Amino acid sequence: MPEGHSVHRIARQFAANFVGDACALSSPQGRFAEGAASLDGRTMTASRAIGKHLLLDFDGRWLHVHLGIYGAWDFAGAIAEDATLRSAGGRAGQTGMRGTVADGAFEHSLASIGAPRLARLRMGEAESALEATDFPPPPVGQVRVRILTPTAVADLRGPTVCEVLEADEVEAVAERLGPDPEALFESKAAAERRFALRAGRSRQPIGQLLMDQTVVAGIGNVYRAELLFRARISPHRTGRSLSQDELRGLWRDWVRLLRIGVETGQMLTIDGLRGARLERAMASRADRHWVYKREGLPCLRCGTTVALEVMQQRKLYWCPGCQL
């Protein structure tokens, strides 16, 4: 399942190439025909993400999408690119893990792109770039909804959630989710305070709380493992056992790592990557993480064997030597 950085990148893609245009919506597979008809012809006026939820505003009526495990967006036409999306056939794997060419990745985000060019790419579980031969391309496979403008098209496949919401229902979605530092629904100070209060009064393990989307929105297996390792915090400590300084430190590190993920398209969690080290990290998962997928190997910091266990049916990676 894509973590929060992927969904924010998708929101940026819509903001760069769809917002402000009247959109034709259809459901090639037919499963979303009524919803598509209710949005067809409206202008997309905003594109926002909260955690793993994408919200597209069509003149006050919203399309709400949660990709889940199998969902993905395919974009074609005059679409925005950055280093990750330009990678030759670059496919990122289940959580954007396969890597890309780091040709100035930090400087080429979807927020500061040059002129878009004719291309075709997939965003979601994996990202890949392919040359387009015509526009718009015919729908391929089970397309739940197609969003089409005169210059760009987005096809959605396999989402867990695809529905039309009114403004008050969007507010309800935002209220039930935990804070997201990249979302625009509350101030940064309020988001930090809300996370620290929610996590700090819980008797559940912090490793479980970080995956609870009502406590903090957008964190998945990779960021959970890496955040706790960077903070030297055991995933088994309860939220109540952590000080406010520890909880706020976790939040502030999440703010930083999420921004790097949004800007680069990769979950880079080792600091100080420059030059050849950055290129290796962008290209290879093994060079960008401290403990994720390193079970059975020596910890890069203390040499203790990295542990793998299951917490609430999800794999948990951590270092018993560093995380106390």
Active site residue 2: yes
Q: Would residue 116 show up in a list of annotated catalytic residues for this protein?
A: no
Catalytic residue among 3, 125, 226, 246: 3
Please identify which of the residues 176, 240, 252, 314 carries the catalytic annotation.
Answer: 314
What does the angle CA 132 – CA 281 – CA 95 come to, to the nearest 5 degrees? 60
Q: Is 107 a catalytic residue?
A: no
Active site residue 256: no
Catalytic residue (one of 9, 12, 52, 285): 52
Of 2, 181, 205, 235, which one is the catalytic site residue?
2
Q: How far apart are CA 12 and CA 25, in angstroms?
A: 19
Closest to 19 measured CA to CA, from 42, 54, 39, 44: 44
Q: Which residues are catalytic?
A: 2-3, 52, 314
